Amino acid sequence: MDVVTILDELQNQALRDPEVRNRLLDTRQAKEPLTAFCGVCRELGYEIYEMDLICAGEEFHAAMKRSTNGGGENSPMLAGEDDFYELFMAGIASV
């Protein structure tokens, strides 16, 4: 299962189950939020590690840049647009 599929399943689970949602949101307060988040994910049965999230975000952003303006290497990156952890948190926090 790829990272995007895992995050999608986790988001759906978090939106249905307030306990899961709170556990995931609480990782924002940890000294190492990404490590804490991945730990909770593994406890919930999703095998995901920090580098999985980082690489998936960077690969997604790179693919998006390649698909615009002939490669788009000169287009600036918006803050956080490749950060799947922050995007995930924004998705479950806004409910």
The predicted structure's pLDDT at residue 5: 92
pTM for this one?
0.75
48: how many CB neighbours lie within 10 A of its CB? 21
pLDDT of 57 strictly over 70: no
Torsion sign across C-alpha atoms 82, 51, 49, 26: negative
Q: How many domains does the chain have?
A: 1
Q: What is the pLDDT of residues 33-45, one digit of tens each?
A: 999 999 999 999 9
Which residue has better confidence, 84 or 58?
A: 84
The predicted structure's pLDDT at residue 63: 59
Range of the domain at 16: 3-93
pLDDT of 61 strictly over 70: no
The predicted structure's pLDDT at residue 52: 86
